Amino acid sequence: MKFLGITVLLIAAVVLFGCAGGGGGGATPTPVHTPMATPTPVSTPTEVASATPGATATPGATATPGGTATPAPTATAAAATPTPGSTATWEGLTGCARIGLSYTYRTTVQGTQADMQYATSDGGMVNGVDTVLDTVTMSVSGVQMVTHTWNAKVGCGCVKTESVYSGQTIPGQCASAAQGGGGAGSSPTITNMGSEQVSVPAYTGSATKYHMVSGGGAYETDMWIVPSISVPVKMISAGATIELVSYSS
C-alpha cells in the first residue's frame, strides 16, 4: 500500500510538473501576442466656427464666442481583455522567473492524499540555460521524496529534473529540454474557459478556468488562475485533484 500510494502521488507530481514546467512535460510554449485596441481617431469638424475677439485658436479645438478654445479630447487605447475561447501561454499566465515563492498543494488521487511543499529559487546556469529551481517535498506513509526540477526563466521549459528517494538520487528526463525546442505538438494549447467561483484552502473567490491540452493531445488539465497568485489555485488532471493550501511570495 505504501508503494502504491507513492506511485500514485508520483503520477500526480508528473501532472503538476507538467504545468509548472510550461506544460506538455517541459515543452517551450510559443508566445502569443495580443494586439492592443486601436484608438478611435478624433473626428474633425467639417466647419470650424469663426473665432471671436479674445479667443485663442488651437488646432483641433472648437472656438466658443468670447471664450478660450477647448482642446479636443484625446482617445486612449485600452488593453485587450482575455475572453472565453481565447488562447494563452503558461509564461503569459504565471511567468517563468518565479523566484522566492513558497506554497503547498494538497493532492488527492484515488483516495490517497498528501501535501506537496514547493519552494522556488535561482537555479543558475544549467546546460547553458538560465534557470529557476523548483523543489518539491512530499511525504507518504512516513516516506519522504524530494524532487528538483530546473526550468528555463524564459519559456518555462524543463531543462533538468531529478528525485531523491530513500537516500538515492534518481535522474529524471524532461520531455523537451528548453534548448532543444521539442517536436511537433510539444507546446501545450491553453484555452480560456471563462470565470468561475472556486474554493480551496488558500483562496475563495472568482478565478479564470483554463483547459490545457499537452503531449500532442495525450494529457488534458483543467486549472483555475487568479492574477494575484503566481500558481494555479486548483488543477484537475488524470484523476488527480490538486488544491492550493498555502502561498507566499
Helix residue spans in the chain (DSSP H):
2-20, 90-94
Number of domains in the chain: 1
Q: Which amino acid is at 168?
A: Q
How remote is the C-alpha of 184 from its chain's centroid?
Answer: 22
pLDDT digits 0-9 by tens, 109-129: 988 888 999 999 999 999 999
Burial of 126 (C-beta count, 10 Å sphere; 0-12/13-18/19+): middle
Residues 6+ apart with CB under 8 A from 192: 82, 83, 84, 85, 86, 87, 88, 208, 209, 210
| 1: CB partners within 8 A, 6+ apart | 141
243 located within any domain: yes
Residue 152 resides in a domain = yes
Structural domain contains residue 147: yes
Q: Which residue has the higher pLDDT, 160 or 182?
A: 160
Asked if the model's pLDDT at residue 152 lies above 70, the reply is yes
Q: Does residue 44 fall inside a structural domain?
A: no
What grid cell was written down for 81? 481583455
**52 occurs within a structural domain:** no
**51 occurs within a structural domain:** no
Residue 82 confidence (pLDDT): 64
Measure CA of the first residue to CA of the last residue in the chain; give whole Å.
36
Q: Which of 1-15, 68-82, 84-98 has the highest mean pLDDT?
A: 84-98
| Model pTM score | 0.67
| C-alpha grid cell, residue 132 | 529557476
b/e per residue, 83-93, with b = 16+ CB within 10 A?
Answer: eeeeebbbbbb
State how far the Cα of 249 lies from the Cα of 247, in Å rounded to an integer: 7
| Mean pLDDT, residues 231-236 | 97
Residue range of the domain that includes 101:
2-29+83-248
In a domain, 58, yes or no: no
Q: Is residue 159 part of a domain?
A: yes
The span from the CA of 47 to the CA of 64, in Å, is 13
Mean pLDDT over 189-207 rounds to: 96
Q: Which of 168, 209, 186 is nearest to 21 (CA)?
A: 186
Q: Output the domain CATH number for residue 166.
A: 2.50.20
Question: Could you report the per-residue pLDDT of 134-151, keeping only the tens digit for each?
Answer: 999 988 778 889 999 999
